[in-house]
Amino acid sequence: MKKTLYSLRNYKKELIFGPLFKVIEVIFELLIPFLMKYMIDVGIKSANNGEGLNKIIIPGVIILCFVIVGFCSTLVCQYLASIASQGFGTDLRNRIYQKVCGLSLDDIEKFNKGNLVNLITNDSNRIQLGVALLIRLVIRAPVLVIGSLICSFIINVEIGFIFLAIVPLVSIILGLILYFSGKQYLKVQSKVDKMTGYTNDSLKGSRVIRALNKQDIVIQNYKEYNFEYFKESKTANIIAAFINPLTFLIVNIAIILVIYFCGDFVLNSKLDDGDLVALISYLNQILMALIVVSNLVINFTRALSSMKRVDALLTYGPTIKNNPIVENHKINKGDELICFKDVSFKYLDSENNVIEKINLTINKGEFVGIIGGTGSGKTTLIKLIERFVDVSEGELLYKGYNVKDYDIKTLREDISLVNQKSVLFNGTIKSNLLMGKKDATDEEITKALIDSEAYSFVKEYNDYIDHEVLEGGKNFSGGQKQRLSLARSLLKNSEVLILDDSTSALDYLTDKKVRENILKRKDVTLIIVSQRATSLMNADKIIVVDNGKIDSIGKHEELLNKSKIYKEIYDSQTLAKGE
């Protein structure tokens, strides 16, 4: 759990002085029963003998001062605890989110998206609460219990042993509950992750669910996940429910014994009335401390379970490692840019290769098309170039060096990718496009909108590029989202532009205009993955992929003669349109 607690590194002073002020409060609290004892045994007798009320008033004033000082100490402790816990939580969430952003696509699937969301929100909040309680209450309970035990021995040794017998009994109970509930809360959180993941999938796929009229099945599945969560939570709560009753039972038995023995000692003049009041007061302090501990056990159990989960993420070594040894450099037009050498790839826990023994070269400035059937491995080639995943076998070179030797950030800065499924973020058109180039001027944004053929509809908005984009871009059509995503990548102005079937929602004429606009840009290496053969007819080379292997490479006319697969794709599309 060292990785999780590393976020406390900047709050050492708060961790030291917060509990110290709490100890000051406890010390004054422990002194009050002695003053009460003095007031009863000495002050009242003095007042009855006509010696005045000084021996009652002065201790009373001292008690009031102790209460005020203790209250101020508590305020300081709470203030330090809030600074440390809030700062810790903020730093931890930032670290978790940064770690998540550094995971590969395979890693994200391994951890599960619902699980990662819970780590950033629920788990980090539980640990943050645990830190606050650690500073505010953890030191108070043991100091109060130990102090009360010492004071009880000072007043009467025999009664002190009764007090001493309480602590190990309650500690054993709390330890057992902590052990069993800790395991149970991990199971509870696992059910929460599954339920969250299913909820996210259902919400994202709500349109499909409604189209298939499967709401009843989805609701029933959610009820089953929810019921599993209910069963595990019920077990955890039952275990936790034993804490307070058992604590009260043991302490109340101790109170009965103390009253019994103290009453006998008072009658035999072994104890004064003030001693009895002080002992009962210390016993109540122990009771309250143990009740606090019992409630802390519940919170710390959850916090510890969350810490284990967070630590598992923070200590995880991502499959995509960034160990740059090559500086990015410029190459001339026509030079080798991307080279696949006997490249094979398979996903984690998969036995079969998605692509196998791929050999191909892409030169700078070329217009390259990639075409093939569904599941043939086209998108996998793009993932490898962007280093979303790493090759399983063979070598992938970029500008003459292995892609693994480049800094990932630098590599991806060189490459712009537009996916088939366009992603827009909540904000404005301008804020979305500035993700491509954060310091872009309005003129540059307009140029990117024109080249992507998005200007035609964006100019119609009264607020132009300040027009609102709702979550996921749901206030735009599929074609509009694709053109805005394309504009964002064009604004980035990278050496390589990859369009992964990202004009599929556009009509043929708009698709053609977009390609013509892009090809006007100098020194851009354009790679288009498309199902449309007509979109690739003018490519310098077309790569035909089939079942994870390269069927053939060539220009349009060549492939019509030598590639049966390409000819079938082309004929099926053109004949269907009567061309």
Average predicted confidence (pLDDT) for the chain: 84
The reported pLDDT for the residue numbered 447 is: 92
**DSSP state string for 52-109:** -SHHHHHHHHHHHHHHHHHHHHHHHHHHHHHHHHHHHHHHHHHHHHHHHHTS-HHHHH
Pairing of strands 427-428, 355-363: unpaired
Q: Which CATH architecture has domain 336-576?
A: 3-Layer(aba) Sandwich (3.40)
Indicate the SS3 state at residue 500: strand
Of all residues in the chain, what percent carry a pLDDT higher than 90?
21
In whole angstroms, give the CA distance from residue 47 to residue 336.
Answer: 104
One-letter-per-residue 3-state SS of 362-377 = EECCCEEEEEECCCCC
Q: Global pTM?
A: 0.71
Do 114 and 55 contact (CB within 8 A), yes or no?
Answer: no
Question: Length of the chain in residues, anyone?
Answer: 579
Of all residues in the chain, what percent carry a pLDDT higher than 70?
95
The torsion angle over the Cα atoms of residues 189, 192, 198 and 204, rounded to 10 degrees, is -110
In whole angstroms, give the CA distance from residue 386 to residue 572.
Answer: 32
Residue for token pair 């039972």: 249
- Which residue in 432, 438, 444, 433 sits closest to 521, CA to CA? 444
The domain segmentation of the chain, as residue ranges, is: 2-314, 336-576
Structure tokens at 276: 């009895």
Higher pLDDT, 17 or 576: 17
The reported pLDDT for the residue numbered 269 is: 63
Residue for token pair 């002073």: 13
Q: Which CATH architecture has domain 2-314?
A: Up-down Bundle (1.20)
pLDDT one-digit tens code per residue, 412-441: 888 988 887 888 889 999 999 999 888 899
In whole angstroms, give the CA distance from residue 497 to residue 512.
Answer: 16
458-465, Cβ contacts within 8 angstroms, sequence gap of 24 or more:
458/429, 458/484, 461/429, 464/429, 465/428, 465/429, 465/430, 465/433
